[in-house]
Amino acid sequence: MAGSPDSPRHKHKVTVVGSGNWGTTVAKLVAENTRAHSDTFEEDVQMWVYEENVTIPPDSPHYDAAVGDQPQKLTSVINTHHENVKYLPKIALPSNVVANPSLLDAVKDSSILIFNLPHEFIGNVCKQIKGHILPSARGISCIKGVTVTEDKVELISEYIGESLGIYCGALSGANIANEIANELWCETTIAYNTPPCDRRGENGTNGNGANGDHHHRDARGQISKTQLTPVPLDYPPVDHAELYKLFDRPYFTVSMVSDVVGVSLAGALKNIVALACGFIEGHGWNMTAKTAVMRRGMLETIQFCQDFFPETIQEMTFWESAGWSDMIVSCTSARNWRYSKMAAERGVSLHEVERTELNGQKLQGISTTKEVMSFLKARGVQDKYPLFKAVEGIVDGTFEVKDIPVLFRQ
Amino acid sequence: MAGSPDSPRHKHKVTVVGSGNWGTTVAKLVAENTRAHSDTFEEDVQMWVYEENVTIPPDSPHYDAAVGDQPQKLTSVINTHHENVKYLPKIALPSNVVANPSLLDAVKDSSILIFNLPHEFIGNVCKQIKGHILPSARGISCIKGVTVTEDKVELISEYIGESLGIYCGALSGANIANEIANELWCETTIAYNTPPCDRRGENGTNGNGANGDHHHRDARGQISKTQLTPVPLDYPPVDHAELYKLFDRPYFTVSMVSDVVGVSLAGALKNIVALACGFIEGHGWNMTAKTAVMRRGMLETIQFCQDFFPETIQEMTFWESAGWSDMIVSCTSARNWRYSKMAAERGVSLHEVERTELNGQKLQGISTTKEVMSFLKARGVQDKYPLFKAVEGIVDGTFEVKDIPVLFRQ
C-alpha cells in the first residue's frame, strides 16, 4: 500500500530558516515534536544559521580551556553544546536541532519550511533558495508584518509563496520568544488554508486528482498565479492536523485557522495601535483609556480587513491569539508602545526619541503607520480610519495626543 | 403644535437612585449634561441618598467651627457644599445635583430613572417605588451582574423593568468611578433597545399608535409580560440619541447598542474570568498566558450568550467597552483578580483568602461562578465551558491551577 496515507513511504523533513532568538525557540519546540511524532517527521530539524564567530566566556559551562577565547563557529558551538550561545543563551536545545551554515543544504529535500528571520532578509533568502527546494514543499512564515505600499498590501506569507511557487501559511500570536524558550505557557495562532490539491479524498487521492487543476485561491480568495505541485501521496498530508502536531507543545498551545489575511494584518496593524496606546499612557491616562484605544484600533483593523479583503476575512479571527491577545501584549510591553509612551511623557516627538534612545534606528510602528496611511489616502478613505490617521498626525506633529478622545465622539 | 416632537411641553426629569462612589459620579456627569441640554432635560438632577450622619474633619475646607465635630446629615452636606464627602470626597459636584433623603420624593414625576446602587438593595428599592413612579418612566441600570439560578438567568435591568412595569436598559463598561469623577477620559456602553411603542413616526406619532399593542419584546426577544405605557408625545423621545445626550461627556465617551443581554452577561461573566487570570498570574505565568485565559473566557462568554439567548445576541457587542475593555480592566486591576492572584501566590484556597483578608466577606466572582455552573449543570452542558468549570474546580479544590493549560489542548 505504498502511497496510501496509512503508510506513506516518506516522512516530512523540516527546516527552520533563521536562528535568532525567535527562530531558535521555534526550532527547539518543533524538534521536540518531530521526536515525539517520528512516524510523521524526520527527527532531525535543520536550522539555517548565518555563520559567525563567537567566543565562549570563561564563566560559561561550555568554556573549554584548550580552546580558550579563540573564536569558534556558531554552528559548531550549537551542534556541540546544543545551545545557541549568541541568540538564545542558557536554553538547552534538543540534540536533533542541527545547525547548518549552508542555506541551500539546509532547505534541500525539506517538505516543510519554517521562515523565521528578520523581515528585511526574506527577499534575498527567497531569491537564493528558489529552484533549490522541493516543488511540493509547504511553508509557514513566523515573520510578522505585511508590506504595504500605495498600490497594494502584500502578506509576507504570500510573498514567500509566490517567490518560491509553493503555498505558505503564517504563525502569529501573543508570543515572547524567551518565555516560550523557558517553557512558560502561552498560545499562538497558525493560519493555513490547505490548498485544494492537498485535500486528500477518502481513498487517499489528492483533492483534485493527479491530473487536476493545481491553481489555487490565494490568501485573498483570488486564483493565484502560482501553479502548485501537490504534496505527494507518499508523504503524510500537510494540513491542520499535521501542523498542529508539528507546533503544539504543552507550553505552546496552537489554534489552527484558515484566515491568513486576518492573522497577518492583525499582526501588522497592531503596531499602529501600540503607538496610540503609548501616547495615551504617556499623556497621563490610565488603563481604562488604553482599552478604549485598543478596542478602537481593533475595530479599525477589522474594518480594514473587511474593506480590502472581504472574500476571505473571518471576524472570529480577531478573537484568536494573533488578534486580541497580541494586541493587548503589544500595547502593554512591546517596543513601539514603550517608546511612544516615552515621547508623550517627555513631550517630544517620536522622531526625537528615535534619535536619542534608538541611535536613529526606526520604530516599526512608524513605518507601518506611514505605509498604511499612504494606501488609505491613495483610495481616499483615510477618514474612515480616524485612529490610524491620528497616529500619523501625532508622529508628524499635526495632531495632539490630548485630542484623541475627540475622535471617539459621535 | 403642542404634542409634536418639535416642541414638547415637558422636559425629562432625571433621578439617580443611589449615591455611592459610582452613583455620585454618574449624578455629576448627568447633571453636567442636563445643564448643557436644558431644552430636553430639567436642570436639577435628583439623587436619592440613604440618609446618614457624617462628621466634617477640621482639615476639610467644608469644616465649620460653629458646627465643630457635630454630626450632620449627609444630604444637607451635599446640598450645601456640593460634595459627597463620604463616598466621593474632593470632587466638586454641579450645584444642580440635588441630594434627596426621600426615595419616593426623589423618583416622583421623573421620566428617566438611573439605578446605581449595590445589587443587594435593588429588590427592596423596587418594592418601595412601585406604583409611585410615572408609568411612562424609562430606566437605565448601572448595576453590573445578573441573577443566575438553576432555573434561569435574569438581568438586573429586566428585573427592574418587570418589577416596575417599565422598560429599562443597562450601562456598563471599563469604568472606574474615581477616574471618571476626576474627568480622566474613558468609554462606556449603553444598551437600550428602544421599545416599539416609543419609536416615533415621521409625523410625531409613537411607533404603534395611540391604540397600539404596548406589549414589547424583552431583552431575550420574547414578548414581555409587561404592558408598557409609551413615553408621551409631549415629552422628548427616550431613544439612543437622547440617552447619548444625557450620558456622553468629553471625558466619558458613550457608545449606544441594542443588545442588553450581551452587555449584561459580559459584565457578569467577566468575574469568573478575572478569577482565572488571578490564578494564572499568581502561579507565575505572565501576560501572554493571561491573554490566553482572557480570550478563552471571552469565547465562553460569547458561547453562553449564543447558546441561551440566540434571538438577540450580537457578536459585535463583545468588542464594545462593556465587552473586551471591561474584561481587560477586570482581569488587570479589579478585586476578584487581586485576591485570586494572592491565593495562588500563597498556595491557599480562595476561601482562606476571604477569611484572612476580607473578614469573611464574599468575593463576587465566586458566587457568579457557582451560580453559572449550577445553571449549566442543570442543562448538562458544563463540559462545553471548560474554563468556567475549571474555575469552580479551583475554588472547590478539585482542580489545580497548573492544569489550566491542559484545558486548551485540542
State pLDDT tens for residues A62-82. Answer: 999 998 889 999 999 999 999
Query: With an 8 Å Cβ cutoff, are A292 and B325 in contact?
Result: yes
Looking at beta carbons, which residues of chain B come within 8 Å of A324? Answer: 291, 294-295, 298, 324
pLDDT of residue B215 exceeding 80, the answer is: no
Of the candidates B284, B292, B328, the beta carbon closest to that of A186 is on B292
Say whether A121 counts as a known binding-site residue. yes
Say whether A203 counts as a known binding-site residue. no
Question: Which cell numbers in the block locate residue B175?
Answer: 469604568
Looking at beta carbons, which residues of chain A come within 8 Å of B405? Answer: 185, 250-251, 253
For chain A, the residues whose C-beta falls within 8 A of a C-beta of chain B are 174-176, 179, 184-187, 244, 248, 250-251, 253, 284-289, 291-292, 294-295, 298-299, 302, 315, 319-321, 324-326, 328-329, 332-333, 405-406, 408-410
Averaged confidence pLDDT in chain B = 92
- pLDDT, tens digit, for every residue of B116-141? 999 899 999 999 999 999 999 999 99
Mutate to test the interface with B, among A273, A288, A302 (most CBs of B within 10 A): A288
B101 to chain A nearest CA, in Å?
33
- pLDDT, tens digit, for every residue of B218-255? 666 666 667 899 999 999 999 999 999 999 999 999 99
CA–CA dist B49, B20 (Å, integer) = 8
Write the CA distances from B342 to A29, B271, B283, integer angstroms.
32, 16, 9
CA atoms lying within 13 Å on the CB side of residue A101: 10
Give me the pLDDT at residue A209, please: 44
Looking at beta carbons, which residues of chain B come within 8 Å of A250? Answer: 405-406, 409
- Spacing of C-alpha A53 from chain mean position: 27
- ipTM of this predicted structure: 0.91
Query: With an 8 Å Cβ cutoff, are B184 and A405 in contact?
Result: no
Mutate to test the interface with A, among B185, B245, B249, B256 (most CBs of A within 10 A): B185
Query: With an 8 Å Cβ cutoff, are A329 and B291 in contact?
Result: yes
Say whether A336 counts as a known binding-site residue. yes
Query: With an 8 Å Cβ cutoff, are B287 and A248 in contact?
Result: no
B302 to chain A nearest CA, in Å?
11
A214 to chain B nearest CA, in Å?
31
Give me the pLDDT at residue A6, please: 58
Mutate to test the interface with B, among A185, A270, A408 (most CBs of B within 10 A): A185
Of the candidates B176, B287, B292, the beta carbon closest to that of A321 is on B292
Of the candidates A174, A291, A326, the beta carbon closest to that of B328 is on A291
- Spacing of C-alpha A4 from chain mean position: 33
Looking at beta carbons, which residues of chain B come within 8 Å of A287? Answer: 174, 328-329, 332-333
* 3 state SS for chain A: CCCCCCCCCCCEEEEEECCCHHHHHHHHHHHHHHHHCCCCEEEEEEEECCCCEECCCCCCCCCCCCCCCCCEEHHHHHHHHCCECCCECCCCCCCCEEEECCHHHHHCCCCEEEECCCHHHHHHHHHHHCCCCCCCCEEEECCCCEEECCCCEEEHHHHHHHHHCCEEEEEECCCCHHHHHCCCCEEEEEECCCCHHHCECCCCCECCCCCCCCCCECCCCCECCCCCCCCCCCCCCCCHHHHHHHHCECCEEEEEECCHHHHHHHHHHHHHHHHHHHHHHHHCCCHHHHHHHHHHHHHHHHHHHHHHCCCCCCHHHHHCHHHHHHHHHHHHHCHHHHHHHHHHHHCCCHHHHHHHHCCCCCCHHHHHHHHHHHHHHHCCCHHHCHHHHHHHHHHHCCCCHHHHHHHHCC
Other beta carbons within 10 angstroms of residue B334's beta carbon come to 19
Query: With an 8 Å Cβ cutoff, are B295 and A320 in contact?
Result: yes
B249 to chain A nearest CA, in Å?
9
Looking at beta carbons, which residues of chain A come within 8 Å of B250? Answer: 405-406, 409
In order along its 410 residues, chain A shows pLDDT tens digits of 344 455 678 999 999 999 999 999 999 999 999 999 999 999 999 999 999 999 998 888 999 999 888 999 999 999 999 999 999 999 999 999 999 999 999 999 999 999 999 989 999 999 999 999 999 999 999 998 888 988 999 999 999 999 999 999 999 999 999 999 999 999 999 999 999 999 987 666 665 544 444 556 666 666 666 789 999 999 999 999 999 999 999 999 999 999 999 999 999 999 999 999 999 999 999 999 999 999 999 999 999 999 999 988 888 999 999 999 999 999 999 999 999 999 999 999 999 999 999 988 889 999 999 999 999 999 999 999 999 999 999 999 999 999 999 998 87
CA–CA dist B49, A216 (Å, integer) = 68
Which residue in the list B28, B245, B270, B290 is annotated as catalytic?
B270
Give me the pLDDT at residue A212, please: 43
- Interacting residues of B101 by C-beta distance below 8 A, sequence separation 6+: B48, B49, B50, B51, B73, B75
Query: With an 8 Å Cβ cutoff, are B184 and A286 in contact?
Result: yes
CA–CA dist A161, A166 (Å, integer) = 5
Say whether A390 counts as a known binding-site residue. no
Say whether A408 counts as a known binding-site residue. no
Question: Which cell numbers in the block locate residue A344?
Answer: 508623550
B338 to chain A nearest CA, in Å?
16
Say whether A207 counts as a known binding-site residue. no
Give me the pLDDT at residue B313, please: 86
B83 to chain A nearest CA, in Å?
24
CA–CA dist B246, B40 (Å, integer) = 9
- Spacing of C-alpha A330 from chain mean position: 14
Computed on alpha carbons and rounded to an integer, the radius of gyration of chain A in Å comes to 22
Phi, psi of B139 (to 5 degrees): -120, 155
- Interacting residues of A121 by C-beta distance below 8 A, sequence separation 6+: none
* 3 state SS for chain B: CCCCCCCCCCCEEEEEECCCHHHHHHHHHHHHHHHHCCCCEEEEEEEECCCCEECCCCCCCCCCCCCCCCCEEHHHHHHHHCCECCCECCCCCCCCEEEECCHHHHHCCCCEEEECCCHHHHHHHHHHHCCCCCCCCEEEECCCCEEECCCCEEEHHHHHHHHHCCEEEEEECCCCHHHHHCCCCEEEEEECCCCHHHCECCCCCECCCCCCCCCCECCCCCECCCCCCCCCCCCCCCCHHHHHHHHCECCEEEEEECCHHHHHHHHHHHHHHHHHHHHHHHHCCCHHHHHHHHHHHHHHHHHHHHHHCCCCCCHHHHHCHHHHHHHHHHHHHCHHHHHHHHHHHHCCCHHHHHHHHCCCCCCHHHHHHHHHHHHHHHCCCHHHCHHHHHHHHHHHCCCCHHHHHHHHCC
Give the chain B residue whose CA is nearest to the CA of A327. B291
Of B120, B112, B85, nearest to B99 by C-alpha is B85
Sign of torsion over alpha carbons B24, B29, B35, B41: negative
pLDDT of residue B4 exceeding 60, the answer is: no
* Per-position b or e across A43-52, b if 16+ CB within 10 A of its CB: bbbbbbbeee
| Paired strand residues for B72 | B54
Q: ∠ CA(B184), CA(B187), CA(B188), 5° rounding?
A: 130
Domains and CATH numbers, chain A: 12-258 (3.40.50.720), 262-408 (1.10.1040.10)
CA–CA dist A248, A33 (Å, integer) = 8
Give the chain A residue whose CA is nearest to the CA of B402. A185
Looking at beta carbons, which residues of chain A come within 8 Å of B319? Answer: 295, 298-299, 302
Say whether A139 counts as a known binding-site residue. no
Query: Cβ(A261)–Cβ(A312) under 8 Å?
Result: yes
Query: Cβ(A88)–Cβ(A179) under 8 Å?
Result: no
Binding-site residue positions of B for NAD(+) = 18-23, 121, 177, 335, 362, 364
CA–CA dist A372, A344 (Å, integer) = 22
B264 to chain A nearest CA, in Å?
19
* Per-position b or e across B29-57, b if 16+ CB within 10 A of its CB: bbbbbbeebeebbbbbbbbbbeeeebebe
Of the candidates A294, A320, A329, the beta carbon closest to that of B288 is on A329
Query: With an 8 Å Cβ cutoff, are B285 and A409 in contact?
Result: no
Chain A and chain B share a number of CB contacts under 8 A equal to 131
Mutate to test the interface with A, among B279, B291, B301, B329 (most CBs of A within 10 A): B291
